[in-house]
Amino acid sequence: MSCIHENLECINMESARQSVGSLLLTLTDQDPTKVVLTLLKLSPPGDSNGTAMWEVMLSVPHTLEKIFEELLSQLRRRKSHSPVESTIENAYITHLALLASTECQSEDCGNTCQRRSSLMTVSLLLRRLIPLSERPDMARKMPVLLPQISEFLKDGDTDIKTNILVIFGNVMGHLEGKEASPIAVQLEEEKLLPLFDAESSQLRELSISLFRDLVKAVVGNEKRMMKKKVQRTLLPLFFHTQDKTDSVSKASREALLAVAELLAWGELKDLVQPQQMWRTVEYSLLQDRSKVEVYVKQSLPYLNNAQATLRETAIRFIGLGARRLGDQNEMKLQDICNALKDLMYDAEPAVQCLAAQTLLILGTPRKQRTSGWSLQTLCCWLCRDSER
């Protein structure tokens, strides 16, 4: 292994490289434990020769399965606090198996530049793991990997994030309720929620669909924990029912229904009915005045969303929410109006018009807004504008 690693870049003839590749596969087949541990020790993350060797080893399904089993074995040793051969070796095992936390990467795997280069190996391994995650027997062995794999949802590229979500979805689909429920609760919404607004429609659909499956998977005591987690997802899911991509819109409605069932909010189910949508928003999301400010603040970034339909939805929601902030929040109301003023120059005429109308309503004196501008009047005005 050491000889191959040191000399690989000097081997240029295709026939010679094929011979080396065959030798590498034979060694792996004979003693996967020794091969994996040796290469992990020889090849730091981002090492080009090491990456080329891993690519050969991971290219054959049978060999990949042996490597995967060995990586799982190493992880189980770590989980059971059994000693490993060395700290460096442990760090590289952790890295290659996608088991490294950000802390481990920063302490044991070098600087940011090296971390980025190591993502190439991560991407390679993820692509190879997808077929394994489709097999029930292998998928049931993967939950131990999932918490650390999810770390790469933070800084991986679109392909890495997509592959992680696919693996998560495959694994969850092969697990029973009691097996899936703890995993559903462990996946932090801070990692999944930003993907709801990803530029890639595939990422939006996959992340929202996975969230729906996670909500449906919880049972027993985990339900209480999940109920706390889903609160922050209500508004993004509602906004994406208006997503320009039909599959994302459909996934968002399905996820909202799953959340409604978890929370036992019968009214929330009406959110998927267009004719009842704004009335249900007012009843379900804006009923608790203590949360209105949080929801309005959460909706402000959507004023800059690339999709005009989401910008319009945000304006309507802010128009409804701002009316409930109260006199003590006039300064916050002014901040909201300033944000809406930027949309007076929006590229979409419908957004311009809606922002102007909402500013007109919010700019009237407080007493007049509460008496002369009822919620019903505001809803009718905004909905009528959207129908033109």
Q: What pLDDT is attached to residue 329?
A: 63
pLDDT band for position 274 (cuts 50, 70, 90): low
Q: What is the DSSP string of 193-235?
A: GGGGG-SSHHHHHHHHHHHHHHHHH--TTHHHHHHHHHGGGHH
Q: What pLDDT is attached to residue 76?
A: 63
Q: Which residue has the tokens 């042996």?
A: 66
302-334 confidence digits (pLDDT tens): 999 999 999 999 999 998 888 777 655 666 788
Q: Which of 33, 123, 35 is nearest to 72 (CA)?
A: 33
Cβ neighbour number for residue 127 with a 10 Å cutoff: 14
User: CA–CA separation, 339 vs 300, rounded Å?
Assistant: 8
User: CA–CA separation, 201 vs 310, rounded Å?
Assistant: 14
Q: Are 260 and 266 a contacting pair, CB within 8 Å?
A: yes
User: CA–CA separation, 202 vs 223, rounded Å?
Assistant: 28
Q: Which of 203, 277, 213, 275 is nearest to 239 (CA)?
A: 277
User: CA–CA separation, 386 vs 383, rounded Å?
Assistant: 5
Confidence check: pLDDT of 142 > 90 = no
DSSP assigned state of 155: T
User: CA–CA separation, 56 vs 22, rounded Å?
Assistant: 9
Report for 58-72, 238-252, 270-284, 362-376: range of highest mean pLDDT: 238-252
User: CA–CA separation, 350 vs 303, rounded Å?
Assistant: 13
Structure tokens at 286: 């804006």
Q: Are 183 and 172 a contacting pair, CB within 8 Å?
A: yes
Ranking 85-89, 94-98, 177-181, 361-365 by mean pLDDT, the lowest is 85-89
Q: Are 236 and 197 a contacting pair, CB within 8 Å?
A: yes
